Amino acid sequence: MFKKLDKMLERFDKLNELVGDSEVISRIDEWRSYTKELSEITETVEKYTEYKKVVAEEQELRELIPLESDAEMKALMKEEVEICKDKIATISEELRILLLPKDPNDDKNVIMEIRGGAGGDEANLFAYELYKLYTKYAEKNRWKTEDIDISVTELGGLKEAVFSITGKGVYSKLKFESGVHRVQRVPETESQGRVHTSTATVAVLPEVEDVEVNIDEKDLRVDTLRSSGAGGQHVNKTESCIRLTHIPTGIVVLCQDERSQTKNREKAMRVLKSRLYDFYQSQYEKEYSENRRSQVGTGDRSERIRTYNFPQGRVTDHRIGLTLHSIDNFMLGDIDEMVEALAIHDRELRLSAGIEEE
């Protein structure tokens, strides 16, 4: 670990020279690259500098103790050594965390997809509540949401919702929400008062830049359709709805949220690129990293990750065994405690597995 830190310290000094070099500054793209790299390692370097300072302080105290004749002063110095030892242990753990490989997608915006699963109308109603949960959570974090494709049912549920969330660190907060969400409650249509179990699926995809996913036009089939409302009736006479089919993978994206065909195509392309990125990334991990299971769960769409039990007022995440007895607040977007617990658990798993960059 300390070899890595020493190399990082050398690189930090070199980068500081480069970003202040007038010739480098004139090459703006190169300068930006160095500035970004510098910002990424600054926190770790500052923590390592603190570590070295405390280690030096402890060493100095150890050398002075045998030379001290005053018993009371010697006792105080020994106490200071113990304090330094505690600080060194704490900072060492912080450095281990800082050296963990960062998810390259953590700073990205996301495309979220929510669909009703098993349970008919009740599943679609639950899907709508999940949609509101995440949009409210986004609002609490001052993130921007934008609907891309919303398909509603006659009862006010959601067959499917595709929308984007834009803001700082969105993916890092929401990446563990992918999977099957299960709800247990008495539906409004249930006359016998029996508890029903329904599901909805959530997918969280990092939104990618054009340079990360290249789509060949010859691999794309574009169909224009009339936009439909709840129940399937047409809501306008123009063919503004866009359906994109990526022929090699069979991935299909439909967008009808906008009245403009051009805008719908732009939104559909954003979703398609994110789905393709997710598809190819999954293929890569399956082929080369079959045994890598360091993250919380697998992120598989079929994995049941959470149960929302309304009669008992609790929400349970099955991956970490955490139960919160505050379902009403949770459904209003107050999910920070769950989000933080998932992130901490993931970090602990990676630390225990010793996954650190060489």
State pLDDT tens for residues 238-288: 567 888 889 888 888 888 766 778 888 888 888 888 888 888 777 655 543
φ and ψ at residue 322, rounded to 5 degrees: -95, 130
215 and 274 share a domain? yes
259 contact partners, CB below 8 Å, separation of at least 6? 227, 236, 238, 240
Residues 322 and 344: their CA atoms lie apart, in Å, by 12
Residues 31 and 27: their CA atoms lie apart, in Å, by 6
Total-model pTM: 0.67
State pLDDT tens for residues 13-54: 999 999 898 999 999 989 999 998 898 899 999 999 999 999
Which 8-state DSSP code applies to residue 123? H
225 and 129 share a domain? yes
Q: Is the dihedral of CA 133, 112, 282, 117 positive or negative?
A: positive
- The residue among 68, 98, 128 that closes a domain is 98
199 and 117 share a domain? yes
In a domain, 77, yes or no: yes
CA 48, 52, 56: angle at the middle one, nearest 5? Answer: 170
State pLDDT tens for residues 108-149: 899 999 999 988 889 999 999 999 999 999 999 999 999 988
φ and ψ at residue 283, rounded to 5 degrees: -65, -40
State pLDDT tens for residues 53-84: 999 999 999 999 998 888 999 999 999 999 99
302 alpha carbon, distance to own chain's centre: 18
DSSP assignment string, 237-278: SS--EEEEEETTTTEEEEE-SSS-HHHHHHHHHHHHHHHHHH
State pLDDT tens for residues 95-115: 988 887 777 888 889 999 999
pLDDT of residue 285: 55
Owner of token pair 């070295």: 52
> Quick check: 90 pLDDT over 60?
yes
126 and 68 share a domain? no
50 and 115 share a domain? no
165 and 309 share a domain? yes
Residues 98 and 118: their CA atoms lie apart, in Å, by 41
Range of 249's domain?
110-289+299-349
Q: What is the CATH number of the domain that holds 144?
A: 3.30.70.1660
> Quick check: 355 pLDDT over 70?
no
Residues 126 and 119: their CA atoms lie apart, in Å, by 10
- The residue among 43, 74, 98 that closes a domain is 98
